[in-house]
Chain A
Amino acid sequence: MEKKKTIAMRYTPVIGLEVHVELKTRSKMFCACSADYFGREPNTHTCPVCLGLPGALPVPNKKAIDWCILIGLALNCDIPLFSKFDRKNYFYPDLSKGYQISQYDEPFCKNGHVKISNGKRINIRRVHMEEDTGKLIHEAVDDQKVSLIDFNRSGVPLVEIVTEPDFESAEEVIEYLKTVQQIVRYLEVSNADMEKGNMRLEPNISLRKIKNSDLPKYKVEVKNINSFKFVEKTINFEIERQKKIFEGGKTPVQETRGWGEAKGETISQRSKEEAHDYRYFPEPDIPPIHWTESQVSHLKSQMIELPQTKFDRLRRVYGLSDYDAEILTKEKKTAIYFEEAVRLAKAIPTKTIANWIINKRIDIQNESVGRLIKQISMSHSSSIDESKLQSAIKDVIKDNEKAVNDYKNGKTSVIMFLIGNVMRKLKTKINPSIMKIALEKALRNSNG
């Protein structure tokens, strides 16, 4: 037991992450085919360009580039004024041109970072633009094992976000991933749905001796992870697997592995002797991209309020708890819904609105803000309708002239007396804070 603990203590995981985010542009990255490929008939969303026919040439999609830069800005990156596309050459049947148009040494965005809740800064090396490949389906046809290829996905814009190896645990990785997912959804540039493959990730995992500040000389890249659950399982499995190899006095080999959910383990895919040599060179078919300072600042000015800023503001302005603010800002549309409700419902405390949205799990797609307010008002008047309440308030104001005058002269504590009178008149118990707001409003409006 004691020995095991010391071994466990001797290593720190060193984890870096490559995240691919598929953009939801209308058209593909380099051609005018629809990028809305999911669930479509195979090979119906292709053209000479994305099918890699002879003589076809790429022309980059401006919106995809703008969105890549927006992602970079949201991740606190620098935007170099000069950038270009490069060809990454390799052979695979789902790669129609025999090269992928990507970015090598001059990506659109560099040197960003994201802060996670333990205060740690995850550094982002680069954010670049590339194109997706076709999709391979492995099947048996006529008792023969074959691979089938659908090029509908070929050429769909992908943004790749590469971090430094700054993570030390699966938890950190998952928090970072959720942050990235939330940001791209806020920006409305991707659905970032992992199950649908809109967001894919490849962690590279290695272990470093605790007192050794150098990075390990190997890394294990893991592919084929398509849910948050698998991220955690994969990373923890790899850490254990590599630890055992060290304990056996060996060093893990540099390789690519794939997550196999069936067995709950990672499986070696390619060994290091087949190390890739992508033969990058500048894409001759696409002139370089050159921004002016003002173009970059224009993009910066288009930046929306990001989740963290929104969270801080909601807490500050509406006095929400961390918990409420977090839930309300998890999705942009919830936050917008909440603020719209606050704006409309003058008589309902923000806390009550927040509670309703959070606890009653309001279906904000189908429930209009107006209806929600009505619902809250009604429920907090405990089935007393607004007109009965108003008429009771009116009577009490009329019958208690002295108290009303005291109130108007600044003796606001008499409101409790007035509330009690309204309650007695209504013969039901309703939320005093609701009552208080309604009464205050009525008092303000009453003349005399």
Chain B
Amino acid sequence: MKLRSLTIKKATEGLKQKKFSSVELTKACLEKIKKLNPTLNAFISVCEEEALKDARKADKAMQNGNTSPLLGIPIALKDLFLTKGIRTTAGSKVLENYVPPFDATVVKKLKDAGAVIIGKTNCDAWAHGSSGENSDFGPTKNPWNTDYVPGGSSSGSAVAVASDMCTASTGTDTGGSIRLPASFCNVVGLKPTYGRVSRYGIVAMASSLDSIGHFTKTVEDAALLLSITAGNDSMDATTPQKQVPDYPKSLNRKPRELMLGIPKEYFLTGIDPEIKELTTKALSVLRVSNYHTQEISLPHTEYANACYYIIQPAEVSSNLARYDGIRYGFRRETFGDEAKRRIMLGTYTLSSGYYDAYYKKAMKVRTLITRDFDEAFKIVDAIIAPVSPTPAWKIGEKIDDPLKMYLSDIFTVTANLAGIPGLSIPIGFTKNGLPVGIQILGPQFAEETLFEIGKAFEEATQNETWRKRKP
């Protein structure tokens, strides 16, 4: 049994049955990191010492009958999650030496649940990017083909799970930063409803869009992690006091008959034929599994990306204003190109005389995009769509053309604008051997439905040969 390739569920069972210890599990992951990280560059910081210490503590707690849901499970954190006493860089040289004096709420929750924090993963600096190339600590590579990008911005977190460097990892999704790398790396990625998971203590990118999620090996694990991270936080005024369902338990319910919407705008010109083919195949699998499909229209989809590239840089320009090198970090010259570009763009569109034409206009279009989804969810339970119009591209291919890079987000930004949840699940590989995923979108707080559909797809395809592939 390869410990490191276990899911949270399997690893927890094994730990409980004393088949192996958390120290063994953690060591297996650390070894894999040592072996692969020089090539893949998935981690900015590896917390070997602390992780082993926490693993030993977990083993002891286990012996004492502690049954915390993540006890002894090695989890990696995107380096945007503040960790008390552990350097947190946001992938930027500005914070190269920054050691926070507090833990993010989610980090606290994971620790309280017994998780072993194994390290901090690489990402596009400040989460600005779709490829993982914008990190000031060097690009992360795609484990399926190191000439290709792993997708961003949560590049290291996706790669770490895909290549068994940890059992699960956290990410942030402002415009697709979880779903895109999940689909490029053959892992499950969850972007929860905006506000479902606290943003407190996570470096802010665009505050009205940021969603805090994770990468796992299975849908079931995604459900388990959300049941730990979700919920109202008195430190984040945008988290509702809404009860957190027992997501793993709801997966055991009797499968429902559901209506899935296929938005025609996501299949128009520009989509790679292989993506189209694999998505169509996935849909036919879902139709066999008790689901009905129906073509729907989300008419404002074509404006979503322009809308996003106004709102997001505007909020970025304000959120990055605190990095002045006085209280912590280095001076503003230290920002990389992409951060500088977004600060400039956002400063411009918010500046006197332009606010109405750009930011306010975009917020109005956002209303229309949200209404499109509201209308759709009156007739369908969930929406199935490709995550990206293309599979992973080659490293360097889009790096000099920001606009081209921005266009890779066209299918993911809509969910952030509407604040709805999206689950990215693997559906197979291109002929070139690159993974492809689809996203399941649902109404706000309908994560249970997404897990249900995702798990049904996993079960229906569990014996397919592509499921057995390893990077």
Contacts and interface: CB of A to CB of B under 8 A. Distances in A.
Interface in B243-293: none
Contact of B207 (A59, A96, A277, A284): A284
Interface in A38-96: 48, 51-60, 87, 89, 91, 93, 96
Contacts of B347: 279
Output the residue of B82, B201, B204, B235 with the most chain A CB within 10 A: B235
B444 interface: no
A289 B29 CA distance: 48
A281 interface: yes
Interface string B294-333: 0000000000000000000011011011111011100000
A59 to B, nearest CB: 5
Interface string B207-243: 1100000000000000000000000001111100000
Contacts of A89: 317-318, 321, 350
Interface string B338-353: 0000000001001110
Contacts of A277: 351-352
B327 A52 contact: yes
A59 B234 contact: yes
A110 interface: no
Interface string A88-109: 0101010011110000000000
Interface stretch (B36-44, B57-65, B94-102): B94-102
A96 B199 contact: no
A446 B352 CA distance: 84
Interface in A275-304: 277, 279-281, 284-287
A197 B118 CA distance: 49
A54 B352 contact: no
A97 B322 contact: yes
Nearest to B348: A279
A51 B208 CA distance: 21
A55 B237 contact: no
A286 B347 CA distance: 21
Output the residue of A59, A60, A281, A286 with the most chain B CB within 10 A: A281
Contacts of A279: 317-318, 347, 350-352, 355
B200 A56 contact: yes
Contacts of B238: 57, 284-285, 287
Main secondary structure of the interface of B (DSSP, over half): loop
B369 interface: no
B326 A97 contact: no
B82 A54 contact: yes
Interface size for chain A: under 10, 10 to 19, 20 to 34, or 35 or more residues? Answer: 20 to 34
B80 to A, nearest CB: 8
A137 to B, nearest CB: 14
B207 A54 contact: no
Interface string B169-210: 000000000000000000000000000000111111011100
Contact of A98 (B95, B322, B359): B322
Contacts of B88: 54
A87 B202 contact: no
Given A48-B101, A284-B315, A57 B235 contact: yes
Interface in A97-151: 97-99, 149, 151
Contacts of B359: 281
A281 B235 contact: no
Nearest to B349: A279
B90 interface: yes
Contact of A87 (B80, B95, B318, B351): B318
B104 interface: yes
Contact of B199 (A57, A151, A281): A57
A99 B317 CA distance: 10
A60 B102 contact: no
A55 B351 contact: no
Contact of A57 (B237, B320, B355): B237
Given A58-B237, A277-B351, A284-B208, A91 B324 contact: yes
Contacts of A58: 237
A98 B82 CA distance: 20
Contact of B326 (A57, A93, A280): A93
Nearest to B363: A282
Nearest to B346: A279
Contacts of B315: 281, 284
A253 B208 CA distance: 40
Given A48-B102, A89-B318, A280-B355, A285 B350 contact: no
Contacts of A53: 82, 100-102, 322, 327-328
Interface string B39-83: 000000000000000000000000000000000000000001010
B182 to A, nearest CB: 23
Contacts of A93: 324, 326
B351 A96 contact: no
Nearest to B203: A54
A59 B102 CA distance: 17
Contacts of A48: 100-102, 201
Contacts of A287: 237-238
Contacts of B237: 57-60, 285-287
25 contacts: A48-B100, A48-B102, A52-B327, A53-B82, A53-B328, A54-B82, A54-B98, A54-B203, A55-B80, A57-B200, A89-B317, A91-B321, A93-B324, A96-B322, A98-B322, A98-B323, A98-B324, A99-B318, A279-B347, A279-B355, A281-B315, A281-B350, A284-B206, A284-B208, A286-B237
Given A55-B204, A151-B327, A285-B207, 15 more contacts: A48-B100, A48-B201, A53-B101, A53-B328, A54-B88, A54-B204, A55-B80, A55-B200, A57-B237, A89-B321, A91-B324, A277-B351, A281-B355, A284-B315, A285-B236
Interface of A: 48, 51-60, 87, 89, 91, 93, 96-99, 149, 151, 277, 279-281, 284-287
Which A-B residue pairs are the 3 nearest by beta carbons? A98-B321, A284-B207, A284-B208
